[in-house]
Amino acid sequence: MGAVSAIFAAGFFQNGSVHAALLAGAVAALVTGAVGTFTVLRGQSFAGHATGEVAATGGSAAMLGGLNPLWGYLGIAVIVAGAIEALGVQRPRARDLATGLVLGAGLGIAGLLLYLDTTGTSTSGAAVTVLFGSLFAVTRSALPGMVALGGVSLALVVLTYRLQLLTALSPDLAAARGVPVRLVSLAYLLSLAVAVSLAAETVGAVLATALLIGPPATALRLTKRPGLAVLGSGLIGVAAAWAGTVLAYDSYYWPPAGRSWPPSFLIVAVVFGLYLGSGAVQRVRGRRRAPLAPGAVPAATA
Amino acid sequence: MAGFKPGAWARRPSRVGVGAALLAAVAVAGVAAGCGADPAPGLIQAVGAENQYANVISQIGGRYVQVTAVVSNPNTDPHSFQASAQVARTLSSAELVVQNGLGYDTFMGEIEAASPNSSRRVIDVRRLLGLPDSTRNPHLWYEPSTMPRVAAAVARDLAAIDPAHRAYFEANASAFTRSLAAWSAAVAGLRADFDGVPVATTEPVADYLLQAAGLDNLTPWTFQAAVMNGVDPSAQDVSRVRALFTGHRVRAFVYNRQVTDSLTQSLLQLARQNGIPVVAVYETMPAGHDYQTWMTAEVNALRVALAEGRSTTSL
């Protein structure tokens, strides 16, 4: 019992905010981890990041309308994902530019909407909630929706797993074999939209990338088997989300006493720590051959 | 109330951040553009950073002063962008400015610095009261001793600007201070009947008034500060505050009417479920009130909650 009370500060298991945070964090991390594996394999980390950040526009608009930001994140993320597919920009440079432009314009609108949130409707802390998340303040009524959305997103990638993998690693080969590449990409982008919305709701629109890219990058350092990487990435994400939640709760007793450190920061710190740790594991294993890792992939997709 | 223009620039105070920076930029741009509004000729131009201060200036200055309020109830005036540049212009030509200080209206100092004017008199209420900059609760106008001192300082500065009407300003200041007697009596009455009675709050908006009335605010300061600053309170503090309601340990819940976040909503719901009366308080003077009637209404709302268990959700 001594060890348990050393890790979990008093009241952790009885606290309603903690229960909601653990559930929301687990759902978001599991889905983003799994979907993000394909993002990393496709070499589209920046597009994934942009989708999350532009979702801030929807989140702040939803708050202005008195809605839960989740629905705003989702609406915009689906639109952005649809736009990426409609443009169908395959050349990396043009895609990079288009993504950057949309990102800048979207965040600009988010800046205006957050200003209106703060001045017009007095939604206190709207900017922090939308951009950096408020895990302990996740609205309980949004939880069933989060679980359902997460289930749909996971089902989309799991049901199309083989096609997703082939399309991610070699779209040309996939097309040659008769895979409906655009349809597969659309399924991926829809699950990406859901994933970043869930991540934005828990750790904020800006930090959604950390959950989307960090756990997959870590998992892909530890295993060469893509199926295991998808599963492992989801589990690594959940572990990071839960560890961050525990640390945030415990941080009440850290300086400055009586205030909690933001859960988003702690979750992202754990994600990054795990990635660094995976590098150490990789070195200890002394592998000669490069595993299936982000650095190895762009050559195949470019 | 002559020349009092309420709500020229709607902005919720104490939420420093993206909004403040944007506001300052817009406001400064307005000053730089230099297209001045036409002030009424012959009137002293004065600005109150919050509409309660503008109201007091207006009561002291009367027919010789044109007063503009920068921050008023955000729900009454959506024209924030258009009006902000206009207020910055007014501020650049203002001869008297009253601002709260303590980080509550930092943008005022920024606009003033952007349009230097050696003849402009600035009353910083924090400085006027001799409070240290580390004072943690900026809602100074809820403290009963604050406004009489502000009124005296306003009368002194107006007399310096317009010596011919010194007697008029001083008489108004005395009348203002006398008119606060009803409020003081209501506070004293509350203290006599409910000294030490426990209450809960969302943020420290009316804490000075609660103290003056002898009420015991059981809400942890860290919780109040987090809500005031627009950051998330810790999970521990949230469950502690919820326990105040579920354990029926408080007799009233005093919440900021001008905030519409989910935490306030969930606490309001919890208070209702547990039969705890709620009292709405405002950061800026609500429409249809002057400073005296506003403060008296707040105290009456507290009395109604504590004596009869009835809620007040709007003044």
Instruction: List Cα–Cα distances, A14 to A21, A264, A267, B268, B276, in angstroms.
Output: 13, 21, 21, 22, 24
Strands (E), B238-307: 253-256, 278-281
Shortest CA distance to A122 belongs to which of A112, A134, A130, A114?
A114
- Among chain A residues, CA nearest to B21: A115
Return the sign of the alpha-carbon dihedral for residues B145, B146, B147, B149. positive
Q: Which residues of B touch A262 (CB under 8 A)?
A: 231-232
Q: Which residues of A touch B74 (CB under 8 A)?
A: 119-122
CATH numbers and ranges of domains, chain B: 4-179 (3.40.50.1980), 184-308 (3.40.50.1980)
For residue range B41-65, what is the model confidence (pLDDT) as tens digits? 789 999 999 999 999 999 999 999 9
Label residue A50 exposed, middle or buried (CB < 10 Å: 0-12, 13-18, 19+). buried
For residue range A14-25, what is the model confidence (pLDDT) as tens digits? 888 899 999 999
CB-closest option in B22, B230, B235 to A128: B230
Most confident of A86-95, A246-255, B305-314: B305-314
How far apart (Å, rounded) are the C-alpha atoms in residues A297 and B12?
50
Conformational region of residue B285, where left means phi above 0, alpha means psi within -120 to 50, and beta covers everything else? beta
pLDDT score, position A73? 94
Shortest CA distance to B94 belongs to which of B27, B158, B30, B46?
B46
Amino acid at B51: N
HSE-CB at A257 with a 13 A cutoff on CA atoms is 1
Conformational region of residue B69, where left means phi above 0, alpha means psi within -120 to 50, and beta covers everything else? beta
Shortest CA distance to A43 belongs to which of A276, A288, A220, A270?
A220
Contact A124 B18 (CB under 8 A): no
Amino acid at A180: P
List residues of chain B with CB under 8 Å from any CB of chain A.
10-12, 15, 17-19, 22-23, 74-75, 78, 80, 220-222, 226-227, 229-239, 242, 258-263
* Average per-residue pLDDT for chain A: 87
Say whether residue A266 is in contact with chain B using an 8 A CB cutoff: no
For residue range A168-227, what is the model confidence (pLDDT) as tens digits? 999 899 999 999 998 999 999 999 999 999 999 999 999 999 999 999 999 999 998 999
What is the pLDDT averaged over residues A26-55?
93
Give this prediction's pTM.
0.78
Most confident of A64-73, A131-140, B139-148, B280-289: B139-148
CB-closest option in A137, A249, A260 to B263: A137
Quote the tokens at residue B158.
Answer: 């107006």
Residues in chain B with pLDDT < 70? 1-40, 73-84, 260
Which run of H or E residues covers position A178? Answer: none
Which run of H or E residues covers position A192? Answer: helix A181-203
- Among chain A residues, CA nearest to B257: A122
Residues in chain B: 315
How far apart (Å, rounded) are the C-alpha atoms in residues B84 and B97?
16
pLDDT score, position B31? 35
How far apart (Å, rounded) are the C-alpha atoms in residues A52 and B233?
25
Under DSSP, the state recorded for B233 is P
CATH numbers and ranges of domains, chain A: 14-301 (1.10.3470.10)
